[in-house]
């Protein structure tokens, strides 16, 4: 199975909300997503799609791409119309002055553990760079060790806590932030991590789709 990432559109909201319902206890409305998507200067959302075969090259290059970011479409292809491919994950990032804030990352339950969350995180880093962010931040549940390990891998470090941040159970949020993401040191780290991720995704391309791939049923 092949996985690739592209910018979210309003047509994607229904599938995104299905994954959201399976992932989080507090949900965003469709109108909230529409508002976010209509503010691309400060808000970017992306989706990951699954395909049994490599998608053909995409001719639409309106999304800005530089350097390392170009590796994803080179490896897995881009396509003008991709709505026939199911959405298996999504993520978003906001810009506040020079700080990119990752608002959400979620993967459909049947597709977890296949590197899709990491692929989404890489695309959000690219989107933050495209919006001229210098650093990245996020909040994650203190109990979500799996997510924390991924963020630590990509240079996020704990910088504080938000007490009782999550309204469903009053759990604290761990605040995590990166070093400057434009620095040569971070860009080299990113290059090395992407090489390993792409090797993993090449292996995933030879694996069948999950048996339970019905997608019905934030970083937290």
Q: Per residue in 96-114, pLDDT tens?
A: 999 999 999 999 999 999 9
Question: What would the pLDDT profile of 152-182 be if each residue is shown by its tens digit?
Answer: 999 999 999 999 999 888 999 999 999 999 9
Mean pLDDT, residues 190-201 taken together? 94
Q: Flag whether pLDDT at 147 surpasses 50.
A: yes
Q: What is the pTM of this model?
A: 0.85
Sequence-ordered list of residues with C-beta below 8 angstroms from that of 11, at least 6 positions apart, any chain: 83
Is 49 in contact with 82 (CB distance < 8 Å)? yes
pLDDT the model gives residue 68: 42
Active site residues: 139, 151
Mean pLDDT of the chain: 86
Query: What residue ranges define each of the domains in the chain, with the CATH number in brackets?
Result: 2-204 (3.40.630.30)
Sequence-ordered list of residues with C-beta below 8 angstroms from that of 41, at least 6 positions apart, any chain: 95, 131
pLDDT the model gives residue 57: 62
């Amino acid at each position: 199975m092949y996985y690739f990432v592209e910018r979210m559109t309003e047509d994607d909201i229904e599938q995104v909300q299905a994954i959201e319902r399976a992932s989080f206890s507090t949900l965003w409305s469709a109108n909230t997503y529409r508002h976010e998507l209509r503010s691309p200067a400060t808000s970017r959302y992306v989706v990951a799609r699954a395909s049994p075969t490599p998608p053909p090259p995409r001719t639409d290059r309106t999304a800005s791409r530089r350097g390392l970011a170009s590796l994803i479409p080179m490896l897995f292809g881009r396509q003008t119309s991709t709505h026939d491919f199911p959405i298996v994950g999504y993520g978003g990032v906001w810009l506040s002055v020079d700080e990119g804030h990752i608002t959400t990352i979620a993967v459909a339950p049947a597709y977890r553990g296949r590197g899709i969350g990491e692929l989404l995180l890489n695309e959000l880093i690219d989107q933050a760079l495209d919006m001229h962010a210098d650093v990245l931040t996020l909040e994650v549940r203190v109990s979500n060790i799996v997510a924390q390990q991924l963020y630590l891998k990509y240079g996020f470090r704990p910088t504080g806590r938000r007490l009782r941040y999550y309204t469903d159970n009053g759990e604290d949020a761990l605040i995590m932030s990166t070093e400057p993401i434009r620095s040569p040191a971070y860009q080299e780290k990113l290059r090395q991590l992407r090489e390993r991720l792409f090797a993993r995704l090449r292996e995933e391309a030879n694996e069948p789709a999950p048996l339970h791939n019905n997608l019905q049923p934030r970083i937290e």
